[in-house]
């Protein structure tokens, strides 16, 4: 563990740490472009030059491994002049696009030019010109003039997705990033290159010109797309998800998310008219439709439960709080109605992030229901029972909680679903199940309510409320809480903190969870789980670091 001095401070770091990594992890912000902890070291932008005593020339901090007794200066007059010079070079051919460039507000070139550069440029010649809207793939556009040739995007496709669609073509100042004709940048993670690009050379088609980033509120949350549970930021403005970007989490997704997750907001927007508009029940023209629907649900469920003909269908897309309430319902006032759990498996796990299980909380729901009401049965058995006429009232949590369900096979075989005369369905986006329900109780959709999910690897994370619902819906715990209150004869639904206490008490895997610490963080493991072992592979500069238990500064 070498000890070295940087700007007068003495630091001890693990073997193999570079000066840049040590600096960033200790609050010394050495400017850099081409370095990224998830990619191999490239060392070509030359912005991170520092002075190292006894070295004959300035050294790049990203490729200088800390040695015992090394003395580094990052803020001398000479280093400042060097940085100014490199910044001047970077801006020689860079276009003055800031007013129309998506990156403004989160552009390192802008920030460094302001902090480390000169206010003017001495370049008077004609700048190099090139294509400004080259389509690299279905989601990514390339602006040659803005590109600073840092090669992050190329390295990403080589090292992380291993698809190598991007290459650098030509030479010298005419270098350009491109794809081979007929092989566009269309791997499932193509949007990540837009995150990586330090300038506005790579833009996401779905976000181009949509919002200025300084208007966005970044709400930390979790992606709803699959059981991986990637940490994300929901960039919201005007009560809309304007964009979704990865949130760094070394126990789960590192720096990446897949395109499907990234574009979830757009999916929700496009399916606006498929949101369930409001509660529905057989009662016509009720003054208070919610009261009417809830009362009807309580009535039929209570009746049929006493007759032993009630059944519960849970969804792996529910939150653990909803699952606990549902479990308490099933085990309690519904006198041990059997609980079935739907499944949403499609395709296969890939080698990076994507899971075949398309439900973000399958493990959480299973853990909670298993502890609270015993065995959770597969849907096929529910279908059998329905067809055999053994179910008169079905309480079902639908598949459309987190978005439109087009393309997915129906959760229950349609002929089986219709066999129960009473079907109480909680859902957000319309599904065949919701369409055919006798009572519909619309739940708040993705981003409209908070909750907790558990990934396939046992990582417990907080899902945030980032939006106000525009349709007539309520949080799932309110609806289930109301049903519980109605059926169990209580006066009110439990509060969130009471639910959490209940989960910790009832479910051993959650016994040690510190619920208050979950929001905005990287999550916690269920008891006995080791989520980090299943985290996305660490590539690049990070690999060596993690081997010695080092946590690098996050990008």
Partner 1 sequence: MFDEQFEKRADEILARYPRRESAVMPLLHLVQEREGYVPLAAERWVAEKTGVSPAHVHGVVTFYTMFRTERHGRYVLHFCTTVSCMLRGVDHLLAHAKEKLGIEVGETTPDGLFTILTVECLGSCGTAPVVQVNDDYYEDMDVARLDALLDALAAGKEPPFPPGPGPRRVLVEGD
Partner 2 sequence: MEKVLTRNVGIEGSRTIQVYRKRGGYETLAKALRMDPDAIIEEVKASGLRGRGGAGFPAGVKWSFMPKEPAPERPNYLVCNADESEPGTFKDRVIIENDPHLLLEGCLCSAFAMRASRVFIYIRGEYVLGARVLERAIAEAREAGFVGEDILGSGWSCDIVVHRGGGAYICGEETALMTSIEGRRGNPRLKPPFPAQFGVYGHPTTINNVETLSCVPFIIERGASWFASIGTDERNTGPKLYGVSGHVKNPGVFELPMGTELMEIIEEHAGGMLREGKALKAVIPGGSSTPVLRADECRGLRMDFDSVAKAGSMLGSAAIIVMDETTDMVAVMERIAHFYAHESCGQCTPCREGTGWIEKILHRIRRGGGTPEDLDLLDQVAANMQGVTICPLADAAAMPCRSFLEKFRDEFEHYVRHGRSPVAAG
- Residue among 1, 67, 164, 517 that touches partner 1 (CB under 8 A): 164
The listed partner (partner 2, partner 1, none) that binds 89, CB under 5 to 8 Å by sort, is: partner 2
Burial class (CB in 10 A: 0-12, 13-18, 19+), 445: buried
The listed partner (partner 1, partner 2, none) that binds 166, CB under 5 to 8 Å by sort, is: partner 1
Size (the chain), residues: 555
First-last CA distance in the chain: 24
- Residue among 173, 348, 468, 492 that touches partner 2 (CB under 8 A): 173
**E strands of 97-204, at which residues?**
134-135, 140-142, 166-169, 176-179, 202-204
The listed partner (partner 1, partner 2, none) that binds 493, CB under 5 to 8 Å by sort, is: none
The listed partner (partner 1, partner 2, none) that binds 381, CB under 5 to 8 Å by sort, is: none
- Residue among 52, 61, 86, 177 that touches partner 2 (CB under 8 A): 86
- Residue among 17, 18, 42, 179 that touches partner 1 (CB under 8 A): 179
Residue 306 in the binding site for partner 1 (CB under 8 A): no
Residue number, 88 or 175, with CB nearest to partner 1 = 175
C-alpha 333: how far from chain center: 36
Instruction: Fill in the per-residue mask, 438 to 467: x = in contact with partner 1 (CB under 8 A), - = not in contact.
Output: ------------------------------
Q: Which neighbouring-strand residues pair with 425?
A: 396, 440
- Residue among 31, 95, 178, 404 that touches partner 1 (CB under 8 A): 178
- Residue among 126, 287, 348, 491 that touches partner 2 (CB under 8 A): 126
- Residue among 20, 72, 166, 362 that touches partner 1 (CB under 8 A): 166
The listed partner (partner 1, partner 2, none) that binds 503, CB under 5 to 8 Å by sort, is: none
The listed partner (partner 2, partner 1, none) that binds 125, CB under 5 to 8 Å by sort, is: partner 2
Residue 49 in the binding site for partner 2 (CB under 8 A): yes
How far CA 534 is from CA of 2, 43, 49, in Å, comes to: 31, 30, 36
Residue number, 41 or 527, with CB nearest to partner 2 = 41
How many alpha carbons lie under 13 Å from residue 516 in its C-beta half-sphere? Answer: 2
Distance CA 13, CA 17 (A): 7
Listing DSSP states for 70-122 in one string gives -EEESSSHHHHHHHHHHHHHHHHS----GGG-TTTTS-HHHHHHHHHS-SS--
Residue 547 in the binding site for partner 1 (CB under 8 A): no
Min separation Cβ 167 and partner 2, Å: 9
Q: Are 438 and 424 in contact (CB under 8 A)?
A: yes
Residue 172 in the binding site for partner 2 (CB under 8 A): yes
State how beta strands 524-525 and 339-341 pair.
unpaired
**Which 130-149 positions form the footprint of partner 2 (CB under 8 A)?**
148-149
State how beta strands 140-142 and 202-204 pair.
antiparallel
Nearest to 143 by CA among 135, 152, 153, 155: 135
Residue number, 175 or 478, with CB nearest to partner 2 = 175
CA torsion through residues 479, 483, 484, 485, sign:
positive
Stretch that binds partner 1, among 52-60, 174-182, 228-236, 396-404 (CB under 8 A): 174-182
State how beta strands 339-341 and 377-378 pair.
parallel
Stretch that binds partner 1, among 180-188, 189-197, 241-249, 510-518 (CB under 8 A): 180-188
**Which 225-254 positions form the footprint of partner 2 (CB under 8 A)?**
none
**3-state DSSP helix/strand/coil percent for the chain, to nearest 5?**
30, 20, 50
Order of strands across the sheet that contains 231-237: 217-222, 231-237, 240-246
The listed partner (partner 2, partner 1, none) that binds 149, CB under 5 to 8 Å by sort, is: partner 2
- Residue among 92, 169, 488, 501 that touches partner 1 (CB under 8 A): 169
Residue number, 83 or 358, with CB nearest to partner 2 = 83
Residue 106 in the binding site for partner 2 (CB under 8 A): no
Helix (H) / strand (E) containing 426:
strand 422-427
Residue 54 in the binding site for partner 2 (CB under 8 A): no
Residue 111 in the binding site for partner 2 (CB under 8 A): no
Distance CA 337, CA 327 (A): 10
Residue number, 124 or 492, with CB nearest to partner 2 = 124
- Residue among 57, 171, 238, 492 that touches partner 1 (CB under 8 A): 171
Order of strands across the sheet that contains 9-12: 9-12, 3-6, 71-73, 49-52, 59-60
Min separation Cβ 202 and partner 2, Å: 18
Residue 90 in the binding site for partner 2 (CB under 8 A): yes
Distance CA 134, CA 136 (A): 6
Which positions lie near partner 1, rule CB under 8 A? 163-171, 178-181, 183
Which positions lie near partner 2, rule CB under 8 A? 41, 43-47, 49, 57-58, 60, 63, 65, 82, 85-86, 88-90, 92-93, 122-123, 125-126, 128, 148-149, 168, 170-175
């Amino acid at each position: 563990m070498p000890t070295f001095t940087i700007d007068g401070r003495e630091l001890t770091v693990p073997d193999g740490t570079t000066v840049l990594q040590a600096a960033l992890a200790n609050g010394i912000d050495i400017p850099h472009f081409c370095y990224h902890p998830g990619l191999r070291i490239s060392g070509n932008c030359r912005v991170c030059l520092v002075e190292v005593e006894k070295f004959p020339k300035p050294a790049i901090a990203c490729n200088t491994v800390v040695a015992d007794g090394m003395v580094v200066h990052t803020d001398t007059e000479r280093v400042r002049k060097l940085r100014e010079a490199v910044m001047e070079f970077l801006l020689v051919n860079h276009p003055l696009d800031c007013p129309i460039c998506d990156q403004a507000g989160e552009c390192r070139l802008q920030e460094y030019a302001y902090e480390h550069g000169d206010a003017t440029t001495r370049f008077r010649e004609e700048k190099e010109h090139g294509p400004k809207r080259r389509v690299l793939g279905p989601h990514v556009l390339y602006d040659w003039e803005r590109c600073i040739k840092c090669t992050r995007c190329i390295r990403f496709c080589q090292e992380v997705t291993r698809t190598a669609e991007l290459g650098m073509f030509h030479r010298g100042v005419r270098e350009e990033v491109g794809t081979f004709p007929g092989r566009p940048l269309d791997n499932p993670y193509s949007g990540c290159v837009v995150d990586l690009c330090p300038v506005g050379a790579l833009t996401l088609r779905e976000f181009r010109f949509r919002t200025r980033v300084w208007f966005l509120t970044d709400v930390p949350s979790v992606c709803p797309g699959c059981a991986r549970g990637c940490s994300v930021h929901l960039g919201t403005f005007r009560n809309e998800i304007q964009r979704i970007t990865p949130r760094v989490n070394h126990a789960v997704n590192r720096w990446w998310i897949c395109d499907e997750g990234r574009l979830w907001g757009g999916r929700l927007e496009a399916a606006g008219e498929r949101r369930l508009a409001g509660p529905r029940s057989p009662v016509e023209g009720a003054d208070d439709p919610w009261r009417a629907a809830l009362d009807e649900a309580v009535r039929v469920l209570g009746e049929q439960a006493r007759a032993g003909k009630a059944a519960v269908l849970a969804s792996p897309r529910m939150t653990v709080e909803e699952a606990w309430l549902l479990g308490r319902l099933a085990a309690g006032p519904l006198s041990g109605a059997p609980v079935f759990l739907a499944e949403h498996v499609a395709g296969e796990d890939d080698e990076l992030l994507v899971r075949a299980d398309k439900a973000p909380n399958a493990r959480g729901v299973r853990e909670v229901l298993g502890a609270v009401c015993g065995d959770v049965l597969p849907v096929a058995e529910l279908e059998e029972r329905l067809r055999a006429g053994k179910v008169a009232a079905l309480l079902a949590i639908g598949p459309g909680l987190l978005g439109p369900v087009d393309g997915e096979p129906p959760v229950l075989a349609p002929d089986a679903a219709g066999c129960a005369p009473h079907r109480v369905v909680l859902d957000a986006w319309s599904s065949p199940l919701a369409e055919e329900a006798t009572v519909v109780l619309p739940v708040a959709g993705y981003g409209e309510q908070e909750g907790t999910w558990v990934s396939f690897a046992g990582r417990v994370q907080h899902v945030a409320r980032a939006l106000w619902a525009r349709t007539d819906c309520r949080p799932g715990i309110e609806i289930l809480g109301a049903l519980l209150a109605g059926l169990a004869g209580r006066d009110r639904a439990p509060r969130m903190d009471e639910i959490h206490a209940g989960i910790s008490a009832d479910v051993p895997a959650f016994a040690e969870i510190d619920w208050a610490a979950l929001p905005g963080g990287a999550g916690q493991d269920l008891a006995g789980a080791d989520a980090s072992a299943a985290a996305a592979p660490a590539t690049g500069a990070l690999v060596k670091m993690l081997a010695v238990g080092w946590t690098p500064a996050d990008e």
